[in-house]
C-alpha cells in the first residue's frame, strides 16, 4: 500500500508538472515522469479535482490545469502584506479602469488578516470595496485584452491583436509575442512590450488601443537578453529608444526646491542647490517629450534649461496658452506700464 507521505509528494509533483506544461500532458507521459502506472495517474487526477479542488481540464488525451482558476498559495508576513496593500491602492488611485482581480486579491488578503491584524484587515476590505465601486470606469474590452495577454504571457503563446493607430484611427493587425506588461501612471493605463512578428520588431502597445485579441497555439520564447528593467531604464515612463538618452536640465524655483528633492524622480537624476536658492535638476532621459505633462505640472516654478528642443516646445505651449487666455495684450500692457514707471523713476532720480 502506498505510503501517505509518498502519495502526497507525488500529488505535489503532478501539480508542478501540469503547471509547467500549460498546453497539457498525456497520461502516459505523466506516468513516465512520476514512475507510476497510467491507472494510478487517473486516480491522482480524480483526487486533485474532487478532493483538492484543483481546476483540471481534459481535452481528448490531454490533461492540464486551468491556470485562470488555479489559486496559488503564497505566505506573507505583515510587512509583505502591507507592501501588497500599498501597491494595490496605488493601482486603484492611478488607474481609472475597474479591475475585479485586483479587488479580489485585496479582499482575500484582508480576510486572511482578520484574526491576526483586524484593524489592517478592516481597511484592506474597505479598499477592496472602493475598487469595486460603481464609480470605477467599466471597460469590458480592456479587461478581456488584459486577461488574454496575461494568459499568453504566462503560457508563452503568441496572440493576434488588432491595434488602433493613434491619430489616424486606422486598425492594423499583428501576430505578437508579449514580453512584459507595464503600468503607466501618467496615462492611467498599461502597456504591453513585446515582439511584433513579420517583420520582427520590438513594439509597445497601449492596451486601450487594442480593439481585439485572440490567443494562438504557436509558442514563443523570451530571449535571455531581454530585460524590461534595462529596456525602460532611461525612460521617463514607457517611451524608450535605441539611441543614447538626452540630458534634460531643469531649474526649479526656491519655493518648490524642497518638494522636488523629497522624491527621486528618475534613477539618473542629479540635483544641485544654487547659491540663490534655485535647484538645478539633471537626468538622462530616453524621450524628453514624455516629460512635458510633468513639467507642466510645476507651472512657472520650473524652467527648461535644456535640451533646446524641449525648451522651444514649452515656449510654444506657453504662447498657445497666452492666446487661449487672451493674455498677449495684457502682458504687453503690463510691460508698457512697467517701462513707463521705470522711465519716470529714472527721470526723477536725475
SS3 state of residue 272: strand
Angle between helices 4-20 and 27-34 (to 10 degrees): 130
- For 7-57, the pLDDT digits (tens) are 888 888 898 899 888 888 999 999 998 888 888 988 999 999 888 889 999
- For 183-235, the pLDDT digits (tens) are 887 777 889 999 999 889 999 999 999 999 999 999 999 999 999 888 888 99
pLDDT in the model for residue 1? 46
Strand ranges across the sheet with 56-59? 25-26, 62-65, 56-59
pLDDT in the model for residue 250? 98
Output the CA–CA distances (angstroms, integers) from residue 74 to 71, 109, 116, 276, in the order listed.
9, 10, 16, 53
Give me the domains of the chain, ranges plus CATH numbers: 4-65 (1.10.10.10), 78-131 (no CATH), 140-226 (2.30.30.520), 246-314 (3.30.70)
Amino acid at each position: 500500500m502506498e505510503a501517505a507521505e509518498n502519495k502526497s509528494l507525488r500529488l505535489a509533483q503532478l501539480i508542478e508538472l501540469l503547471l509547467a506544461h500549460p498546453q497539457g500532458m498525456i497520461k502516459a507521459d505523466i506516468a513516465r515522469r512520476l514512475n507510476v502506472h497510467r491507472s494510478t495517474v487517473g486516480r491522482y487526477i480524480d483526487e486533485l479535482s474532487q478532493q483538492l479542488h484543483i481546476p483540471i481540464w481534459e481535452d481528448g488525451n490531454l490533461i492540464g490545469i486551468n491556470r485562470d482558476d488555479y489559486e496559488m498559495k503564497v505566505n506573507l508576513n505583515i510587512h509583505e502584506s502591507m507592501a501588497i496593500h500599498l501597491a494595490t491602492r496605488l493601482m486603484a488611485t492611478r488607474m481609472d479602469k475597474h479591475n475585479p482581480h485586483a479587488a479580489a486579491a485585496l479582499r482575500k488578503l484582508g480576510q486572511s488578516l482578520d484574526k491576526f491584524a483586524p484593524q489592517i484587515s478592516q481597511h484592506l476590505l474597505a479598499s477592496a470595496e472602493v475598487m469595486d465601486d460603481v464609480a470605477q470606469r467599466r471597460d469590458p474590452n480592456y479587461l478581456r485584452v488584459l486577461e488574454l495577454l496575461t494568459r499568453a504571457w504566462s503560457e508563452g503563446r503568441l496572440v493576434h491583436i488588432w491595434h488602433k493607430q493613434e491619430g489616424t484611427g486606422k486598425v492594423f493587425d499583428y501576430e505578437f509575442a508579449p514580453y512584459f506588461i507595464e503600468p503607466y501612471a501618467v496615462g492611467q493605463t498599461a502597456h504591453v512590450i513585446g515582439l511584433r512578428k513579420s517583420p520582427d520588431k520590438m513594439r509597445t502597445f497601449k492596451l486601450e488601443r487594442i480593439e481585439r485579441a485572440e490567443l494562438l497555439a504557436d509558442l514563443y520564447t523570451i530571449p535571455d537578453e531581454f530585460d524590461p528593467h534595462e529596456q525602460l531604464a532611461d525612460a521617463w515612463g514607457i517611451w524608450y529608444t535605441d539611441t543614447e538618452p538626452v540630458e534634460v536640465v531643469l531649474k526649479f524655483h526656491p519655493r518648490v526646491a524642497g518638494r522636488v528633492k523629497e522624491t527621486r524622480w528618475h534613477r539618473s537624476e542629479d540635483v544641485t542647490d544654487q547659491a540663490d536658492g534655485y535647484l538645478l535638476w539633471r537626468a538622462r532621459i530616453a524621450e524628453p517629450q514624455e516629460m512635458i505633462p510633468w513639467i507642466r505640472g510645476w507651472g512657472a516654478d520650473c524652467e527648461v534649461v535644456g535640451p533646446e528642443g524641449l525648451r522651444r516646445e514649452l515656449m510654444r505651449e506657453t504662447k498657445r496658452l497666452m492666446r487661449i487666455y487672451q493674455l498677449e495684450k495684457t502682458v504687453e500692457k503690463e510691460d508698457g506700464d512697467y517701462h513707463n514707471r521705470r522711465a519716470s523713476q529714472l527721470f526723477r532720480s536725475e
